[in-house]
Amino acid sequence: MKSYCHILLFAISIFLPIDILSETYTTGLFPLSVFAETNQNKKIYTEPKTAAWNFIEKYCPDGFYVLQQYYSAPSQFEICEVEISLGEHLDYGKYIHGKTEQDIIRALSTIVHEVSHGYASRLAWKALQDQNIAVSIDEGYSYYYLGDRHSILVKETPVFKSHEIHRIFPAKLQTNRYETYIHPSDPMMGTQQKGIYGLLDELAAYYHGTKVSIDLYDYYKSIDSNTGSEWLDFLEGVGATYFAYKEFKLYILQYLIYAEQYQPDMYREIIDNQPFVTAFLIVNEKFDNLIQRFYDLKDELTSVLQQKEIDVYEENDYLFIGPEGRKMFHQDYEKLQAELQKDRYRRLMNRLKQRSLERLNRYSN
């Protein structure tokens, strides 16, 4: 049986013009060679930005696609005689803090996370231009990347700032990203300016950043040592972001619960926004599958290290390899997961899925 995610990806081709799903694959933005020297048994890269680009290309296909599409997109667009001028592309080099290979590898997740935000905004204008879709300069659009070179264009409906859900959000569930994205939060944050659409943008960005961290499993296998110490960096990279999945899923569902009670007109427009619902459901399923993949890799890694007689164990929210451990935020993940299993959230998710499938059936018959 096909997964719900596969059904929804098919739905995108129904709801959007086919060109919006097309890809513009480009190469040659950076040279393929990186000059490096050895210093105290550490690789030092004279061009860390180029090295980062090449590592992403080698190990992280979805992350590489995001970078390619974003940096090959123009800064000016003309859509139905409306001229749009954007700023310069993001300099992802500012997220690399050092020139060693370890410094560069640690930055890759953040690079793809941040560039995916730029992808969502800049590529939206490109999709609109390619399709010659009439727009107003005051309208908001996002172009969410869903993986496997599929994206979906979403027109944003009226929203309220995300900090308003603080009125109903349980204090015990306010984990470490709550202050940044919900309350008190900077009023210029995307989650405030764009409400639920900004929350989905963050959910998607954390998905792509976490996927980079997990895709690097093969990189860490290539430097496997007898001590297993390098795997702590792998685990820390994933551990820093994977529980954002449950955080932002909860934020989005709480936003809808609040909207239904206090902003019913906005609520109806949001849940009737088929591309938005489709994008949310796909990112949700893909993130869920990604976390399961991480757990499978963690089990595989544990088995391999134990065969080398290296101790691997978890204690007080830390995962230890030998004498050293890294925090994995497992307690936060499980706390949020338990909340999301409650009937109010399950009913809301089922409602969104049902509405999505009803529209899919209507268009496919």
Q: What is the rounded end-to-end Cα distance, in angstroms, of the chain? A: 20
Number of Cβ within a 10 Å radius of residue 186:
13
Dihedral over Cα of 168, 266, 282, 136: its sign = negative
Residue ranges of alpha helices (H) inside the chain are 4-15, 48-59, 61-72, 101-131, 178-181, 190-193, 195-215, 217-222, 230-239, 244-262, 264-271, 274-307, 330-340, 343-364
Which residue in 94, 74, 72 sits closest to 84, CA to CA? 74
Residue 191 CA to residue 345 CA, distance in Å, equals: 21
pLDDT at residue 219, rounded to an integer: 96
Residue in the structure block whose two tokens are 């080698």: 58
pLDDT of residue 360: 57
Q: Assign 3-class secondary structure to 134-195.
A: CCCCCCCEEEEEEECCEEEEEECCCCCCHHHHHHCCCHHHCCCCHHHHCCCCCCCCHHHHCH
pTM over 0.85: yes
Mean pLDDT by 10 residues, the chain (365 residues): 52 42 34 41 89 98 98 92 89 97 97 98 95 84 95 97 98 97 97 98 98 97 84 95 98 98 98 95 97 96 92 93 94 97 97 79 51
C-beta atoms surrounding 39 within 10 Å: 10
The pLDDT value recorded for residue 251 is: 98
In whole angstroms, what is the distance from residue 242 CA to residue 109 CA? Answer: 11
pLDDT for 199: 98
Distance between CA atoms of 202 and 182, rounded to whole angstroms? Answer: 12
Contact residues for 8 (Cβ-Cβ < 8 A; gap 6+): 278, 281, 282, 285, 356, 360
Residue pair 92/68 in contact (Cβ under 8 Å)? The answer is no
